[in-house]
Chains A and B, each alone.
Chain A
């Protein structure tokens, strides 16, 4: 591998063009820029460590072969996510359904909305994030993907819809259904519907 530390920063469009012309060093830099983020997104989508690395590798191999077809109408990472999430969908489709439904003890919405949490609240929020991550894994992948891309990865609606190859209206509808399903799954937690009295 090449030592990238003493190289000048090259803009992404140039790297993509050079890589499309066959320059492996340019492609290596694209991998180094995006692989960690793609891997993290794939983990949050429900893949385990080995699967996420395997899918990330496959994504970049497909990207390398398809670079001459990348038209630059979307951002490069959006294109990568599209390839990666399609691969992940296929892999998850071959798997059996995930395990048990997560339930967590009830906490108030006000606790979660605290903008400057103290140590105890930070620990609680960390615990809630873990519980929510596990609950995400219980969602059907068609509803999990919009939530991961929009709410966890922070993509815009336009970018996330592009990754999933959906129109914006269809994406928004699926995102809302995903959020509502996640809220229902958490059930007894702070985001769930009120318990029947």
Chain B
């Protein structure tokens, strides 16, 4: 009985820790002990395993957004900057 209670408390503590550190695990920013701790918990926790898989897929899709071609605006931005600087724009952006 006491053994099961202790085990539940341990699981709950590890669950809270894993939920807080899942992004760091995903980004490879935990040290070896942290990585092993996260992996031990996700091995035994279906919720955290699903959270990790879904975050991993979401971050992968987000990186695809960054790879999409952006509009070329550099020339018009410079033209605007040059015009405003030549026109003596004020510190608050006023002309």
Contact = CB atoms under 8 A, between A and B. Distances in A.
Interface of A: 1, 24, 28, 31-37, 39-40, 43-44, 49, 52-53, 56-58, 60-61, 64-65, 109, 112-113, 125, 128-129, 132-133, 147, 150-154, 157, 172, 175-176, 179, 182-183, 186, 190-194
B61 A128 contact: yes
Given A1-B75, A132-B61, A182-B58, A157 B27 contact: yes
A191 B74 contact: no
A129 B59 contact: no
Given A31-B78, A36-B70, A182-B58, 15 more contacts: A28-B78, A28-B82, A35-B78, A43-B70, A57-B77, A61-B93, A113-B56, A129-B61, A132-B58, A157-B27, A172-B29, A176-B22, A176-B24, A179-B23, A190-B54
30 contacts: A1-B78, A31-B74, A31-B77, A32-B75, A35-B73, A35-B74, A35-B78, A36-B72, A36-B74, A43-B70, A53-B80, A57-B80, A57-B81, A60-B77, A60-B81, A65-B91, A112-B60, A125-B61, A129-B61, A129-B64, A152-B62, A175-B23, A176-B22, A179-B59, A183-B58, A186-B58, A190-B54, A191-B55, A191-B57, A193-B51
Given A61-B84, A132-B65, A151-B62, A53 B23 contact: no
A142 to B, nearest CB: 16
B24 A61 contact: no
B12 interface: no
Q: Which residue of B61, B72, B77, B79 has the most chain A CB atoms within 10 A of its CB atom?
A: B77
A34 B78 CA distance: 11
A152 B53 CA distance: 18
B71 to A, nearest CB: 7
Contacts of B27: 150, 157
Contacts of A60: 77-78, 81
B23 A176 contact: yes
B58 A35 contact: no
Nearest to A111: B57
Contact of A176 (B20, B74, B84, B91): B20
Contact of B81 (A31, A129, A132, A154): A31
A157 B62 contact: no
Interface string B23-64: 110010100000000000000000000110111111111111
Contacts of A109: 53-54, 57
B75 to A, nearest CB: 7
B78 A32 contact: yes
Nearest to B58: A191
Contacts of A43: 70
B3 interface: no
